[in-house]
Amino acid sequence: MRDDSVRLARDVVGFTRRAARQYNRAHSSTRDLFIDVYSNALAGGCVLMMAASLVVALRDEIMGRSVGKANLVAAHWQALPAGVLWMILTYLALVGIVLLARKLGPVTVSRAEGAWWLPLPLDRRPMVLASFRTRLVSLSAVAALAYVPFSFLTAIDRSPWAHAGSAVAFGGGVVLAVAGAAILQLMPTSGALRTGILVGLAPVAVLPFLASAVWPLVLVLIAAVVLAAYVLSRIGDVSGAELQRGGAVSGHAAASIFSSTSTSCAVHWQPGHAKPSACVARATTHALPGGPAWRSSAPISWRSVACSLRPPPHWCGSGSASASP
């Protein structure tokens, strides 16, 4: 009986995604592709530049290159070893990933998927497994690549293999962090579990700096595989309210970031916010389940382009003054 339910759920998901691909191919255009590339390239470039400038500034300050001048870091921080500060920053990054993943899901469904899939009396695991697995793998890979320049800045005398091992260890730590956020989604009211996950990330933050040995890499990879396997086996038990809440918050947060409306983004990060606004609801009403998320943000991206190309106000004032008798 359970096998039939799982097979039927997979058939429903496969039919929905095939229909979504056919619909998208029929209604896609060069303009939509340009919007997608523009939005992702702009967001990625801004994040990379901010992260690189922060890491370089912290490295210069911590290494004491400008101790006698106005410092970004206070002078008493110079008493701590630089390695300890880098470990603290790594731990804070892992904690931030847990909190961010918990706020955005990490197991989610879109508005259309929630309306079409969740009311069906079927196993939900095939409906959310593919998207969560892709999100887990892609986030860990991006985190490992982003850790490479951080590793070079912290210890430039290491060998390339040591830097690669540190990056892979950090990617495994990100898998642990996202999987921990998924476990919190299964038990959202457990405060002791949240504390245990946050405290358990402390030794994980130390492992990337033990690059001279192989056992830290093996240990973090084994822990990541075990915890990810447990989460993937329980992913179908996430409640429908949690699935829709994560999808609503992540979708509207992305739209708010692309449209540069920080007030709207801050509102949707508040606890208890689970419903998208009317504009996002109208934008996703006609979207098929499983379709690309960038289609619903296309009008918002075009609005950001129009705002960036809008002339300064004093131009309009000068034109009206010259036109008046």
Per-residue tokens: 41? 């390239």
> In terms of pLDDT, which residue wins out, 139 or 77?
139
Per-residue pLDDT reduced to its tens digit, 255-312: 666 565 545 555 544 554 444 444 444 444 444 444 444 444 444 444 444 444 444 4
Which residue has 């004032």 as its token pair?
317
Residue 214 lies in a domain: yes
pLDDT value, residue 258 = 59
Residue 136 lies in a domain: yes
Q: Is 215 helix (H, G, I), strand (E, B) or coil?
A: helix
Please, are residues 63 and 78 in contact by the beta-carbon 8 Å criterion?
A: no
Amino acid at 85: L
Q: How far apart are CA 171 and CA 223, in angstroms?
A: 12
Which residues in the chain belong to E strands, given as ranges?
Answer: none
Number of domains the chain contains? 1
Task: Write down the pTM of the prediction.
Answer: 0.67
Q: How far apart are CA 55 and CA 57, in angstroms?
A: 6
Q: How far apart are CA 67 and CA 75, in angstroms?
A: 7
- Crossing angle of helices 30-62 and 240-258, in 10° steps, is 90
- Lowest average pLDDT, out of 83-92, 107-116, 118-127, 259-268, goes to 259-268
Confidence of residue 230 (pLDDT cuts 50, 70, 90): very high
Residue 65 lies in a domain: yes
pLDDT exceeds cutoff 80 at 325: no
Q: How far apart are CA 231 and CA 40, in angstroms?
A: 29
What Å distances lie between residue 296 and 107, 145, 303, CA to CA? 20, 29, 13
Confidence of residue 320 (pLDDT cuts 50, 70, 90): very low
Per-residue tokens: 282? 């109208």
Residue 231 lies in a domain: yes
Integer-rounded Cα Rg, in Å, for the chain is: 23
Residue 165 lies in a domain: yes
Confidence of residue 129 (pLDDT cuts 50, 70, 90): confident
Per-residue tokens: 254? 């992305």
Residue 317 lies in a domain: no
Per-residue pLDDT reduced to its tens digit, 156-166: 777 888 888 88
pLDDT value, residue 293 = 43
Beta-carbon count within 10 A of 323 CB: 7
Segments forming the whole domain that contains residue 228: 2-303
Which of 56-60, 64-68, 77-81 has the largest mean confidence?
A: 56-60
> In terms of pLDDT, which residue wins out, 260 or 194?
194
Per-residue pLDDT reduced to its tens digit, 211-227: 667 888 889 999 999 99
Residue 120 lies in a domain: yes
Residue 85 lies in a domain: yes
Residue 82: which residues within 8 A CB-CB, separation 6 or more? Answer: 62, 63, 154
